[in-house]
Structure 1
Amino acid sequence: MATWRAHGGIATGYAVGCCLRCVFCWVSWSRDFPEKYGSFHSPERAARRIEAAARKYGVRKARVSGCEPTLCPEHLLKLLRHVEKSSAIRLFILETNGILMGADRSLAEEVAAFSKVHVRVSLKAGTPEDFTRKTGAIPEAFELPFKAIRNLMEAGASFHVAAMSADPRLMSPEERLELYRRLAGISPELPKVLEEEVCDPYDTALARLKLAGFKIEWPLKQVYPPISKIVG
């Protein structure tokens, strides 16, 4: 982990590394070159530092951000065990792209066993082709985040789904409708509570979009209405 701080009422441990290369990602270049940033900390030390940030700023929520935390599942699970015992932290938000939880059902089940953990699964696209175009991953990996959602649901986990789906510059109406159908196919309740995002103009996001050949206009002039209003 690189830094610890309180951001928007949540104590955050910033870590490095990801298995996707999303073109709209806001994270610093530590995502792409993790070996050049921060230093390794044991799960115990990482948990203590996050807990200290929560106490210092008087917040009860915590998370790990700037990375894909499930890449090192043993480290993550040990950290969560410490969080579970912490009197300073009431809620831990586990942000994930769902790739590992989709590939490994047992990981979703182990995470679901923690009473303080709420999982936020971030979807990147609505079709395999768009998934590859936006993340650099192979099309076959597109199904994994949806499998993660099913695994979490069947394990009884506390979770919700987010998607970069409110931004017309990055998702066509057709792709968005396909995303809706896939979520509704898992549960009709999922589209109703989908957290929809737009791309923010962070320097790193702008650079990644340009390098990937995406030409989008700034500022954002309109957003889609909530996906829950789609009838189909």
Structure 2
Amino acid sequence: MRLKIINPDAGLTRKELDERIEILKTVARKDTIISMDCPKNGNIEIDSKTDVYLASGEIIKMAVEAEKEGYDVVAIYCLSDPAIEACRELLKIPVIGGGQCSLQIACGLGYSFSIIITSDKRIPEKKEFVKNSGVDFTRLCSIRSINASFDEIHRNKKNLKRFLLESSKKVIEDGAEVIILGCLSFLGMAEDISKELNIPVIDPAFNLVLMAELIYHQKLAHSKVSYPYPEKKNRFWGNGNI
């Protein structure tokens, strides 16, 4: 299986993308080929609903190109699942997102779940995302944040683990039975936190790889009844066309 992962945060270097791929390979099948790219025509990092919409055009274009290049699955590397519905309309191959995958797994592991994100200001947005996901909203126990910037997250993994442990203890006090690490920059942290606190902790990045394999090897894809192809026409904007 050839998996194209679209990381919607612009500006990542090839080295940074390859480092993520190497971590993801630790859970992938040996015959899974993983490629990861990020947008190159802007400076958007997904940190708000505004960013989600501004990044969507190039994400869609990258997904369309991935299908043309022969990839088997497209995965959107973000808990907000930016542009996922549009990508599903335009593509025949499966398109999956970190958010949907994680919510579905969480509901299979416990009766209630909480999400840990980067910033308090994104809590309302994440609540709305869960409401619109199809998951029973009453199973969302709480959303808490570590209140750290992207730079702080990437600069010191020890501090990140400490921030995540502190927030995880708080959501357990809230009543969470399962925890979702609500930013894919938290890649690789779930197992240690789960062992330390004795509670299921979901890593959305690992979920993407494993869900992609599950769907591909069952020869499944999103329903084109749910996501029909849009009318064919030349659509263009400042940074490209579809």
- TM-score by structure 1 length? 0.37
Q: Which has the higher contact order (CA 8 A, sep 6+)?
A: 2
- TM-score by structure 2 length? 0.36
